């Protein structure tokens, strides 16, 4: 019912939502026949709703490599995230994980729900990994090794300084960016991107996750895990969990805005990375998550709800992003539009107002300087703001058609 209300409020979400629904049905139908590959692709859909769809659109060889890369790292991350595993058990597993992928007998049970299934049946992932080309295998092994070592380092170490924060994000997400750039290069369609730009792609996504997931991470049972750097939050509160208490709302929002401002630093690198891509499928695979991230940051900025519950872009807007992201013009328009949503939310009394504003303006300048912005009007906002009554009429016509279809099929049964 909530989604019906959302569609009524945003009628032009309907078409992209239906298109997305059909695409994900299609993707679920295209599960390969071999049992290990079938397991990998159905697992990918279960553990990552957002990445599965964009991975599915890549060409076969690269798609298989990226799928296994994802599952191997997701399994590694399941070990890292399971707070019930004692440190002396966890650290050796993280460090040796890159060798476990070659061993079809290896198994370590941990995690919950679909992550537990991934761990329990990890032999399917190893089997599929061993079928990849050597170039892909080497890239995946190398990144797994470096990420495992980095995660192990941070098991016993808190994220204190902003440098620690960047270092942690480099291990868990920047390295994914480096690995993906290597896989793209190995597939023969792209030049090898500079490491610093690949790293920024991961940092921007990871920092957005860390900001959005504050409440989920602080409430983690049995032990909370926190990635907000002390160097930032200690300016506002004495303990990180104090941010969630109502009496600290003002400080909490200021701290949140500080974190968002920090994340915005990576945008220009990300735009440069994306502008060098040539393959349409790889481009969409990279650009869709980035646009979702800037959209999420625009939504989180100055928003106390981050400390109260889940703040997420509505499904219809996600569907629109997936539908409308095809080239760099779309990306510049999206970044311009979302920074325009963030900009009026900057309160001049916020301690970082000037810094935030200058970052937002730098992003908008980068989008402007591309020279494509005036060619097309708007990516999201225009259609968001336009309250088109025709769309509502169309919606009700479709609803009536669906309704009469449903009642006629029921009548014929």
CB of 266 to ligand D61, least distance (A): 11
CB of 81 to ligand D61, least distance (A): 5
CB of 289 to ligand D61, least distance (A): 5
Q: Which two tokens stand for residue 134?
A: 């050597």
CB of 158 to Mg ion, least distance (A): 15
Which residue carries 């792609």 as its tokens? 201
CB of 82 to Mg ion, least distance (A): 10
Per-residue string for binding with ligand D61, 267-296, x by CB under 6 A? Answer: ------------------xx--x-------
- Which residues, 6+ apart, have CB-to-CB distance to 330 below 8 Å? 287, 324, 379
Cα(379)–Cα(28) distance, integer angstroms: 29
Smaller CB distance to ligand D61: residue 113 or 348?
A: 113
Smaller CB distance to ligand D61: residue 7 or 197?
A: 197
Whether residue 168 lies in the annotated active site: yes
Alpha-helical segments (H) within 101-229: 113-120, 122-129, 134-155, 162-169, 175-186, 195-212, 214-218
Q: Which of 74, 97, 165, 212 is catalytic?
A: 212
Interface of this chain with ligand D61, residues 84 to 103, rule: CB under 6 A: none
Alpha-carbon torsion (197, 56, 45, 314), positive or negative: positive
Cα(408)–Cα(413) distance, integer angstroms: 9
Q: Which of 104, 146, 225, 314 is catalytic?
A: 225
Conformational region of residue 378, where left means phi above 0, alpha means psi within -120 to 50, and beta covers everything else: beta
* Binding segment toward ligand D61, per CB under 6 A, in 26-34, 73-81, 308-316, 372-380: 73-81
Instruction: Choose the contact partner of 205 out of ligand D61, Mg ion, none; CB within 5 to 8 A by kind.
Output: ligand D61
Whether residue 41 lies in the annotated active site: no
Site size for ligand D61 (CB under 6 A): 21
Instruction: Choose the contact partner of 173 out of ligand D61, Mg ion, none; CB within 5 to 8 A by kind.
Output: ligand D61
Smaller CB distance to ligand D61: residue 94 or 205?
A: 205
Conformational region of residue 228, where left means phi above 0, alpha means psi within -120 to 50, and beta covers everything else: beta
Under a CB-based contact definition with an 8 Å cutoff, are residues 59 and 183 in contact? no
Interface of this chain with Mg ion, residues 67 to 126, rule: CB under 5 A: 77, 80-81
CB of 348 to ligand D61, least distance (A): 33
Which residue carries 């730098």 as its tokens? 362
26 CB neighbour count, 10 Å cutoff: 10
Under a CB-based contact definition with an 8 Å cutoff, are residues 328 and 272 in contact? no
Smaller CB distance to ligand D61: residue 209 or 370?
A: 209
Q: Which of 285, 307, 336, 338 is catalytic?
A: 285
Cα(20)–Cα(324) distance, integer angstroms: 12
Whether residue 185 lies in the annotated active site: no
Does residue 231 touch ligand D61 according to CB under 6 A? no
Does residue 213 touch Mg ion according to CB under 5 A? no
Does residue 201 touch ligand D61 according to CB under 6 A? yes
- Which residues, 6+ apart, have CB-to-CB distance to 270 below 8 Å? 197, 200, 201, 204, 290
Residues that bind Mg ion (CB under 5 A): 77, 80-81
Task: Give catalytic residue positions.
Answer: 168, 212, 225, 285
């Amino acid at each position: 019912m909530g989604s019906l209300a959302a569609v009524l409020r945003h009628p032009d979400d309907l078409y992209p939502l239906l298109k997305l629904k059909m695409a994900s049905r299609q993707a679920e139908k295209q599960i390969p026949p071999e049992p290990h590959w079938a397991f990998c692709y159905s697992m990918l859909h279960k553990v990552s709703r957002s990445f599965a769809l964009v991975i599915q659109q890549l060409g076969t060889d690269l798609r298989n490599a990226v799928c296994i890369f994802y599952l191997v790292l997701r399994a590694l991350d399941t070990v890292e995230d399971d707070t019930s595993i004692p440190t002396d058990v966890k650290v050796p597993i993280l460090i040796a994980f890159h060798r476990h992928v070659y061993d079809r007998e290896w198994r370590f049970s941990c995690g919950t729900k679909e992550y537990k299934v991934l761990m329990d049946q990890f032999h399917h992932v190893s089997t599929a990994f061993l079928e990849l080309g050597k170039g892909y295998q080497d890239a995946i092994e190398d990144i797994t090794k470096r990420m495992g070592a980095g995660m192990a380092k941070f098991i016993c170490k808190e994220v204190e300084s902003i440098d620690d924060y960047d270092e942690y994000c480099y291990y868990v997400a920047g390295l994914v960016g480096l690995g993906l750039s290597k896989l793209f290069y190995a597939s023969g369609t792209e030049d090898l991107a500079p490491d610093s730009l690949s790293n920024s792609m991961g940092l921007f996504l990871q920092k957005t996750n860390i900001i959005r997931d504050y409440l989920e991470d602080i409430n983690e049972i049995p032990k909370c895990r926190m990635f907000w750097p002390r160097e930032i939050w200690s300016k506002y509160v004495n303990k990180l969990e104090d941010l969630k208490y109502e009496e600290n709302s003002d400080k909490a929002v200021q701290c949140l805005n500080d974190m968002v401002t920090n994340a915005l630093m990576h945008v220009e690198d990300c735009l440069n990375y994306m502008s060098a891509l040539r393959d349409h499928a790889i481009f969409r695979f990279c650009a869709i998550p980035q646009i979702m991230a800037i959209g999420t940051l625009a939504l989180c900025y100055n928003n106390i709800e981050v400390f109260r519950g889940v703040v997420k872009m509505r499904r219809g807007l996600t569907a629109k992003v997936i539908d409308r992201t095809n080239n760099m013009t779309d990306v510049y328009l999206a970044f311009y539009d979302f920074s325009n949503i963030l900009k009026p939310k900057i309160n001049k009394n916020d301690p970082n107002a000037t810094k935030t504003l200058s970052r937002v303006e730098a992003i908008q300048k980068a989008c402007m300087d591309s020279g494509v912005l005036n060619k097309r009007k708007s990516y999201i906002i225009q259609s968001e703001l336009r309250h088109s009554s025709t769309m509502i009429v169309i919606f009700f016509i479709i609803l009536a058609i669906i309704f009469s279809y449903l009642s006629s099929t029921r009548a014929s049964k």
